[in-house]
A and B are shown apart, each in its own frame.
Chain A
Amino acid sequence: MTPDLPAILSAAFPGLASDAAEVLRLADPRFNCVAWAAGLSDAIWWPSDPDAYWPPEAPDELSVAAMVAALNTVGYTLCTGSGLETGHEKVAIYARDSAPTHVARQLRDGRWSSKLGRDCLVAHATPGGVEGAVYGSVAVYLRRPVAANA
């Protein structure tokens, strides 16, 4: 239980309260979850959107496959499971009604980080922390190698 979690977060994401959630950064409209997954904090990545960047190598459509293709461009490949793997970092793509809604990125300590839209960046113990009505559930996991001293 995290007593300092803002009420609006607990209301939108009921799973956070029991997932040891912690606000890492305050609200910031300069980046979204997909950019954060790609390692950026000054960009918006989203398909078929005139105010967002989307890698030209990925299909410009709102689908989980397109999201996977976009993250392929920064080194992620499909994997199974959310467990921490030495030498890798993981991301989880969430979907609701088959449409992608969110991407969370695993931290080096095994927790997960979610940039919640234009709002804050939170850490949560498991990918399930932000599952629910807003983002749906995890559709796929991807991983990429990280340098030992990164």
Chain B
Amino acid sequence: MSTHIAPSPALVRRFNALAKEWRSATRFLAAPSAAVAHPAYRAVVALGSDAVPLILAELAEGPEPWFAALRELTGADPVPPTDCGRPSEAAACWLAWGQARGLA
């Protein structure tokens, strides 16, 4: 298990602001790929791996399409092909992945 350091308050504030902006701007888009191309989502990815616990916490609240960001930031993909396109199952896979590493 890796050592997990809690994100700084500044990072949490920045993440929350970006996540709120992203949710609002992309809420009516049908395509996950369009949502993840939004500048606010890209800015979340640019926060780096310290944002991973915050993203996992978002996923625990609801299966929003954070999967692309997690793949980019971790290099992992714990979602089997059979669960592709099934957000609840994909979120559960990522949360299990995070819990195994002390990140969720």
A51 and B26 contact, CB distance less than 8 A? no
> Known contacts A50-B68, A51-B67, A51-B68; is A33 also within 8 Å of B88 by CB?
no
Q: Which of A19-53 contact B (CB under 8 A)?
A: 27, 29-35, 42-46, 48-53
Q: Give the nearest-CB partner of A9 in chain B.
A: B28
1/0 contact string of B26-41 vs chain A (CB within 8 Å): 1111111101100000
> Known contacts A29-B62, A118-B64; is A51 also within 8 Å of B84 by CB?
yes
Does chain B have a CB within 8 A of A12? Answer: yes
Contact residues of B: prevailing secondary structure: loop
Does chain A have a CB within 8 A of B63? Answer: yes
Q: How many residues of A contact B (CB 8 A)?
A: 31
Q: Give the nearest-CB partner of B87 in chain A.
A: A30
Indicate the member of B35, B68, B84 with the most A CB atoms within 10 Å: B84
B30 and A33 contact, CB distance less than 8 A? yes
Residues of B participating in the A interface, judged by any CB pair closer than 8 Å: 26-33, 35-36, 62-65, 67-68, 84-88, 90
A-B contact pairs, 8 of them (CB 8 A): A29-B63, A31-B87, A32-B31, A44-B32, A49-B32, A49-B33, A116-B28, A117-B30
